[in-house]
Structure 1
């Protein structure tokens, strides 16, 4: 049964115009995820880009991905990612068992992450897996103009915090059957820990893009 990568990359973006094709390290943002998938072809059968944009489509094809034209009806700002994944599966006539979601806005990933995560996913016989990173910050709420700590007590050292984790968006792996039920992460999904500086890169603003460029140059990816 096949394992495919799907990279959703619609054309509309608000904070950074044409975000998915902005340049990072001399390549369009989208291309980093395409190339990352292609070098793992020992267990990935195909790489698909789902887009509603002609320029993105052209770039994706140039760099070796297959393209599924996404209808405008599922390309809006508030449309959930799973709808794009489901549309890809419904558009291809192939026996896909596992889907790997790579987001174009998370372009920097540790080299061996995908291989290690996929091996964990298979060995554990999980129905889905997603990457998480431990948080080391002190969070709280402001209620009636007063700060109320959430994950610590005033005076507590950061290193003594109870471990909390955040969903970092680096990658997701899930059964195709789950996606067809409009799910990416199941209740039994395995949280794969990634404690790497790349986990803090999620491009939404120009400043995020500048930070990603700095890390790209620093690590000479």
Structure 2
């Protein structure tokens, strides 16, 4: 039996810095395809949330459930948490959730839309329904408060089955944890600085100006690969990077925001996996 009840892959279509970033080839395979295949190894239920028809068709061809992303949740300012919540809502087993949570969700969903984008959203969904029967062919999935949900980014090229399964163990053995977050070590942040109005260096952490890099305190950043949590944590809108989140350290990862980032990430990926590629 697979350990994760549901994987949600956010895959917005309107990326600005890299056109259709999620579909860009990564070592010869589209990034979204790589993430979907990883998700299938971890869960029987893989949902791809997108506002782009071609991306939804592609996800469906790979056995994922293509969920039409609300237009109100598809701009470049939308955070991850409401996107995951929107993807989970059709699958919650309402009898197992507290009524106060359901009321909370109802109120927040209403706040998501203005009259204008409600009309836009209705038109968009209607056009999709006229072409396909996805919404009627919803998979049999009943999420309870403690169901394990993985939010896996479409560009999470450095996430592995092993580290995600280790995250499952971490979540299982820490009952107070809402999420497990993939992280990277970033101790050199303690040697960071900004520039003052005259262009001179202004150290952010004065106490560490003369500290050797190997002696700096440990610090970590979000690796931008995945978040593993309980269904109720996502639905209750508990912050992904907050005091109820635990971290699991990744050895490598690389943000892909530009074509140069993509080239660097591919080079790093090939080096790490040189024995199997």
TM-score (norm 2): 0.72
Task: Give the unaligned 5+ runs of structure 1.
Answer: none
Aligned partner (choices 181, 206, 226) of residue 171 of structure 1: 226
**1:46 aligned partner:** 45
The answer (yes or no) to whether the contact 1:32–1:108 under 8 Å persists in 2 is no
Aligned partner (choices 178, 197, 200) of residue 127 of structure 1: 178
Over the aligned positions, Cα root-mean-square deviation in angstroms equals: 2.0
Stretch deviating more after TM superposition (89-98 or 18-27)? 89-98
The structure with the greater share of residues assigned to helix is: 2
5 Å-filtered alignment, 1:197-216, equals: 197=252, 199=253, 201-216=254-269
Displacement of 1:205 after TM fit? 0.6
* Alignment deviations for residues 64-100 of structure 1 (CA, whole Å, 9 cap, x no partner): 2111111212111111211211111112352242211
Higher-Rg member (1/2): 2
TM-score (norm 1): 0.88
Alignment of 1:187 with 2:243, yes or no, is: yes
**Kindly tell me: are residues 37 and 184 of structure 1, through their superposed partners in 2, closer, same or farther at Cα, counting changes over 3 Å?**
farther
Alignment of 1:118 with 2:198, yes or no, is: no
Q: 2:158, 2:220 → 1: CA distance?
A: 19
**2:204 aligned partner:** 150
The answer (yes or no) to whether the contact 2:41–2:161 under 8 Å persists in 1 is no
Alignment of 1:15 with 2:17, yes or no, is: yes
* Alignment deviations for residues 165-185 of structure 1 (CA, whole Å, 9 cap, x no partner): 111122111221122222352
Task: Give the unaligned 5+ runs of structure 2.
Answer: 93-141
Q: 1:155, 1:173 → 2: CA distance?
A: 38
Q: 2:208, 2:174 → 1: CA distance?
A: 37
The answer (yes or no) to whether the contact 2:38–2:160 under 8 Å persists in 1 is no
Displacement of 1:149 after TM fit? 2.3
The structure with the greater share of residues assigned to strand is: 1
Alignment of 1:106 with 2:170, yes or no, is: no
Displacement of 1:131 after TM fit? 1.6
3-state secondary structure, aligned to 1:124: coil
3-state secondary structure, aligned to 1:39: helix
**Kindly tell me: are residues 110 and 150 of structure 1, through their superposed partners in 2, closer, same or farther at Cα, counting changes over 3 Å?**
farther
**2:74 aligned partner:** 75
The alignment of Structure 1 onto Structure 2 pairs a total of residues equal to 215
Stretch deviating more after TM superposition (142-151 or 48-57)? 142-151
